[in-house]
Chains A and B, each alone.
Chain A
Amino acid sequence: MVFLDITATIEGRNTMLNVVSKTAEQVFIPLTVGGGIRTLDDIRELLKSGADKVSINTAAVKDPSLVWEAAEKFGSQCIVVAVDGKYVSPGKWEVYINSGRTPTGIQVLDWVKEVEKAGAGEILLTSIDADGTQKGYDIELTRLVSQKVSIPVIASGGAGEPLHFYQVLTEGKADAALAASLFHYGILTIPNLKKYLQEKGVEVRV
């Protein structure tokens, strides 16, 4: 489960510790929390509140040493770096920060390698172009990132139907696929999706 306060940074808000701790009391699966994380103290507080992993995005770009220090201090397994990429030209995507509003001039394929070296345990990769379209994940971006790094890559943005999950987990070589609104609005249910993927031969926990 991933809990992101996606406008925390631009609205200058810290992640809501209270919501995290209430969630952790009821949810017995791994919980990743992100949004507005700036310092090692922010991370420590979130882990103490019951998060298993934290997801860092803008702060990692502004100060890459945060990833290194956090991995060193809390272990790579709990440091997820979220990367928002926007298509530039064939084979090129640019990293955006501040909820996908600010371009950085950094190439996604360079950045993921750097965060892996810094000790990130996972990459949460969102395609800004695909996000919200429900027309499918960015398969090519996901595949290139997955092949570039040897840490798990979670694909995000664009899921609209079960086939999209299948595509990103096979062709896209993603280790996991994230979706939010599809489930929130009840367009898809998790058990049905898992059943579909299992029938297609994808290994899932049912």
Chain B
Amino acid sequence: MVVIVDYGMGNLRSVAKAVEKCGGSVAISNNPLHIEQAGRLILPGVGAFGKAMENLGKLKLVEPLKKKIEEGTPFLGICLGLQLLFEWSEEGNVAGLSIIPGKVKKFLPTPGLKIPHMGWNNIKLTPPGERQDSPLTAKIFREIPDNSYFYFVHSYYVEPDEEKIISSTTPYGIDFTSSITYKNMFACQFHPEKSSKIGLKLIQNFLGLP
């Protein structure tokens, strides 16, 4: 069972529908017990970082989530669900779940670039030699060509301390980190559930992880 963590942020239903389309069975839940029993975890999310941390705290989901991730459960973080894994965000100057060393920064105003970064953009896959040798990365991006287009909506991006965990970057003024692979976790800034066929392929790959 795939458990989509419901902490009151963003469009969980789109994520659930996409997982179902890929043949997965889904539960949307904010019950720590369900999270404990999950075979796979998805942390989605659209919205403000501080509010998200506050909700996770109120719902007493922080510890169950961390524990589950530590146990090695396949984990997919989407958008805010990527950012929350880090230590700190510029958005509201708030501490995150601190599972991955690094921070979340806002795009600097750059002439000609609109913020939020919204729309389709391509992802440049990190060549295998330059990233952590994680079998997860290869599996997640199976049959997803380099420079594929995904859908983005965000004003902040993650900056991991360890560059080796970056599994793709995307050009938007700078080449920002558009996805990371860390232990049993894959997390992306883009929205696979809104990225048409290629996004569904990625979700399918996630469901196929051992």
Contact = CB atoms under 8 A, between A and B. Distances in A.
Interface in A119-142: 121-122
Interface stretch (B35-43, B181-189, B194-202): B194-202
Given A121-B116, A175-B119, A205-B149, A29 B17 contact: no
Nearest to B115: A150
A40 interface: no
A75 B47 contact: yes
B118 A176 contact: no
Contacts, number: 53
B151 interface: yes
| Most chain A CB neighbours (cut-off 10 Å) among B48, B196, B197, B199 | B196
Interface in A23-63: 24-25, 28-30, 47-48, 50, 52
Contact of A75 (B46, B197, B200): B46
B31 interface: no
Interface of A is mostly: loop
Interface in A139-197: 150-152, 175-176
A29 B13 contact: no
Which of the four size classes fits the interface of chain A?
20 to 34
A176 B46 CA distance: 23
B60 interface: no
B114 interface: yes
A28 B120 contact: no
Interface residues of B, number: 24
B18 A28 contact: yes
B200 A152 contact: no
B119 A176 contact: yes
Contacts of A50: 11, 13-14, 17
Nearest to A47: B11
Contacts of A121: 116, 118
Nearest to A206: B149
A107 to B, nearest CB: 23
A121 B21 CA distance: 29
Contacts of A29: 151, 194-196
B151 A30 contact: yes
B153 interface: yes
B146 to A, nearest CB: 14
B47 to A, nearest CB: 6
Contacts of B21: 28
A163 to B, nearest CB: 22
A76 B116 contact: yes
Interface in B6-62: 11, 13-14, 17-18, 21, 46-48
29 contacts: A24-B13, A24-B14, A24-B17, A28-B17, A28-B21, A28-B195, A28-B197, A28-B199, A29-B194, A30-B194, A47-B11, A50-B11, A50-B13, A50-B14, A50-B17, A52-B194, A77-B46, A77-B116, A77-B118, A121-B118, A150-B114, A151-B114, A152-B114, A152-B119, A175-B114, A175-B119, A176-B119, A205-B149, A206-B149
Q: Would you list the 5 A-B pairs with minimal beta carbon distance, nearest first?
A: A205-B149, A205-B120, A77-B153, A30-B194, A29-B196
